[in-house]
Homo-oligomer: A and B are copies of this chain.
Amino acid sequence: MLSKARSQFVRSLHQKKFRQEHGLFLVEGAKSVQEVLASDFRVEQLLATEAFYKENAQLADRQRPQVEIVLPDELTRIGTLETNNAALALARTTENHPLLADPGEMVLILDDIRDPGNLGTILRIADWYGISKVICSETTAEVYNPKVISASKGSFTRVRWFYTDLLTYAQDIPVTIPIYGAFLGGADVHTLAFGGGGGYLIMGNEANGIRPDLEPFVRQKVTIPRYGAAESLNVGIATAVILDNWRRGY
């Protein structure tokens, strides 16, 4: 049975303040925990049901985390998921290292994506479309928020991120590299010649889009053509559709 102290410690990690203080974040549910155990993230503690631990013992022992066998009810009580009958891992956060596009590489820039679910979904989409670097404004949701980790469905283990001041970052992008930005009234993604190279795609805030300060850095505005009457698409949906069009021209 979980001690009160450990339960409280795990629960404290629901809050950003304590994630930062301890340098640890929560990974919850069978799939996500399997992915983090198999990844380069350092897993320090694993709380698992007996069944999950038996099935994943080899994977679990790879990193030699501190293991405790617990009941599903206990996992659910200390975690953030509605139910969790498998496992919860405490993994070490990584340092905020600068990331730049390699020649020909496609990189995503997120300007003020506030909703953790959207950020997690975008990591999953990036991973699907083979994008492994995501540059985030400092106002973008914290990637270690349990909702981000959970919505990413394990893709947080394959996509790297760099939180930075986007104005400074954008200033340093060589002039020969495309910087696409999602706007209303940009070039139609169905007909735009994306060319075979890489570059950057900037996606903006859920309500306000890309902020005016950043707009001058966008070298090619792009728009998803609309055939009906909805005012907009969710930012995750728009990211996927633009990447799909970029990839087909790549």
Q: Is the CB of B121 within 8 A of A234?
A: yes
Set of chain B residues within 8 Å of A125, measured between Cβ atoms: 230, 233, 237
Minimum CB–CB distance from A43 to chain B (whole Å) comes to 19
Q: Is the CB of A229 within 8 A of B158?
A: yes
A127-150 interface bits toward B, Cβ cutoff 8 Å, 1 = contact, 0 = none: 111111000000000000000000
Question: What are 12 A-to-B residue pairs whose CB atoms are below 8 Å?
Answer: A127-B229, A127-B230, A128-B226, A128-B228, A129-B226, A129-B227, A153-B231, A154-B230, A154-B231, A190-B248, A233-B240, A234-B236
Determine if A155 is an interface residue (Cβ-Cβ < 8 Å). Answer: yes
Q: How far is the CA of A244 from the CA of B225 in the complex (A)?
A: 9
Q: Is the CB of B158 within 8 A of A128?
A: no
Q: How far is the CA of A228 from the CA of B106 in the complex (A)?
A: 12
Set of chain B residues within 8 Å of A232, measured between Cβ atoms: 153
Set of chain B residues within 8 Å of A231, measured between Cβ atoms: 153-154
Set of chain B residues within 8 Å of A153, measured between Cβ atoms: 230-232
Determine if A11 is an interface residue (Cβ-Cβ < 8 Å). Answer: no
A201-213 interface bits toward B, Cβ cutoff 8 Å, 1 = contact, 0 = none: 0000000000000
Q: How far is the CA of A241 from the CA of B125 in the complex (A)?
A: 11
Determine if A126 is an interface residue (Cβ-Cβ < 8 Å). Answer: yes
Set of chain B residues within 8 Å of A127, measured between Cβ atoms: 228-230
Which chain A residues numbered 19 to 34 have a C-beta less than 8 Å away from chain B?
Answer: none
Determine if A245 is an interface residue (Cβ-Cβ < 8 Å). Answer: yes
Determine if A224 is an interface residue (Cβ-Cβ < 8 Å). Answer: yes
Determine if A247 is an interface residue (Cβ-Cβ < 8 Å). Answer: yes
Set of chain B residues within 8 Å of A248, measured between Cβ atoms: 190
Q: How far is the CA of A5 from the CA of B128 in the complex (A)?
A: 50
Contact of A158 among B228, B241, B247 (CB under 8 A): B228
Set of chain B residues within 8 Å of A158, measured between Cβ atoms: 228-230
Q: Is the CB of B129 within 8 A of A228?
A: yes
Q: Is the CB of B190 within 8 A of A230?
A: no
Set of chain B residues within 8 Å of A124, measured between Cβ atoms: 230, 233-234
Set of chain B residues within 8 Å of A247, measured between Cβ atoms: 190, 225, 227
* Given A236-B237, A244-B244, A244-B245, A228-B121 contact (CB < 8 Å): no
The residue in chain B whose Cβ has the minimal distance to the Cβ of A190 is B248
Q: Is the CB of A228 within 8 A of B190?
A: no
Name the 10 nearest CB pairs between A and B, nearest first: A130-B227, A130-B228, A127-B230, A128-B230, A190-B248, A237-B240, A127-B228, A241-B244, A129-B227, A155-B230
